[in-house]
Amino acid sequence: MTSYLSELDFEPARTLNILASARRLKAERGRDRNDLAGRSVALYFEKPSVRTRVSFTVGIQELGGRVVELSSATTKVGRGEDPEDFAAVLGRMVHLLVARVFSQEVLGTFARRAGVPVINALSDERHPCQALADAQTILERKGRIEGTVFAFVGEGNNVAASTGLLLAALGAEVRVASPVGFGLPKERLAEARGLAGSVTQLQDPKEAVDGADAVYTDTWISMGQEAESEERVRIFRDFKVSPELMAGAREDALVMHCLPAVRGQEIEAELMYADNSAIWDQAENRLHAQKALILDLMTG
């Protein structure tokens, strides 16, 4: 049973097939399909979501499937039911489990026990569905990923890791600029070795964006880090994506953000709706990329 728990679970050729399928699905939007007729998907959320919830719900319905939504508040996992037992039960009732959780390890437990494919809809460690949508966006807007220079400014968090590693797997030069102690975990840098492209951890945002084709940022305060908000705002204050920082990138460089954004914190609001902003395409492409992923896992 194949699951998608990490952006590196699939070889580049399979990822490129999914991206090609996502492009076709986007072009045929509006025509409902029946690939998932008679099949049900559980969406499980331990953390809040707008984009992931809506894109999976709408996408599964457009493919002809049914959705049941669960959260920590409506299940018993937080009240003592073992995640293994939870997954074993769901696997008897649904054909796919999409889960947003804190622990990447729990996703592994789900995948081992459910007996149906599991999709990582964000964990503390990774956000591979965001990475697929980001790769689709860069392909659309730049025509290629291989050889492009991709700069991520901010924490080496789940989004930096997944989008960075996926783009590097597809041949991009990835640079991540973070304050000391907030860079990519060493395990992620180890995973980057041997990929077609490269991932380099830097501390200077200007060095990272120099000549970049795309400049990406994410919140300084991820879900679960709210207690550290004040300290983080101080630590990250020189890691804002601003027009001044963008001046060091290529003139046609894309501005990217996975959303939700805290305007004036990690990104200046004026950049979000500028012509070179790819942010809204990224959000839309969650729908198409995830539909393509589901088709790969369930009908491929």
Phi and psi torsions of 251, nearest 5°: -60, -35
1-12 burial, b at 16+ Cβ within 10 Å, e below that, comes to eebbbbbbebeb
How far apart CA 75 and CA 196 sit, in angstroms, is 42
Strand arrangement, sheet containing 118-120: 66-71, 40-45, 96-100, 118-120
Considering CB under 6 A, how many residues would be counted as binding ligand CP? 9
Residue 129 catalytic? no
Contact between 222 and ligand CP (CB under 6 A)? no
Does 158 sit near ligand NVA (CB under 6 A)?
yes
Selected catalytic residue, list 257, 286, 288, 296? 286
Q: Would you count residue 298 as binding ligand NVA (CB under 6 A)?
A: no
Q: Which of 52, 109, 148, 178 binds ligand CP (CB under 6 A)?
A: 52
Smallest separation, CB 295 to ligand CP (Å): 20
Report the C-alpha gap between 215 and 230 in whole angstroms.
25
Q: Rank residues 130 and 201 by Cβ distance to ligand CP and give the closer one.
A: 130
Contact status, residue 164 vs residue 140, Cβ threshold 8 Å: no
Nearest partner of 294 among 38, 53, 65, judged by Cα: 65
Q: Is 7 in the site for ligand NVA (CB under 6 A)?
A: no
Main-chain phi, psi angles of 175, to 5 degrees: -125, 130
By CB under 6 A, residue 15 contacts ligand NVA:
no
Task: Name residues contacting ligand CP, limited to 130-149 (CB under 6 A).
Answer: 130
Q: Is 225 a catalytic residue?
A: no
Whether 23 sits among the annotated catalytic residues: the reply is no
CB of 207 to ligand NVA, least distance (A): 23
Site for ligand NVA in 255-284 (CB under 6 A): 258
Catalytic residue among 51, 100, 232, 257: 100
- Alpha-carbon gap, residue 242 to 268, rounded angstroms: 5
Is residue 252 a contact partner of residue 278, using CB atoms and an 8 Å limit?
A: no
Query: Which residues contribute to the site for ligand NVA (CB under 6 A)?
Result: 157-159, 218-219, 222-223, 258
Query: Which residues contribute to the site for ligand CP (CB under 6 A)?
Result: 49-52, 122, 130, 258-260
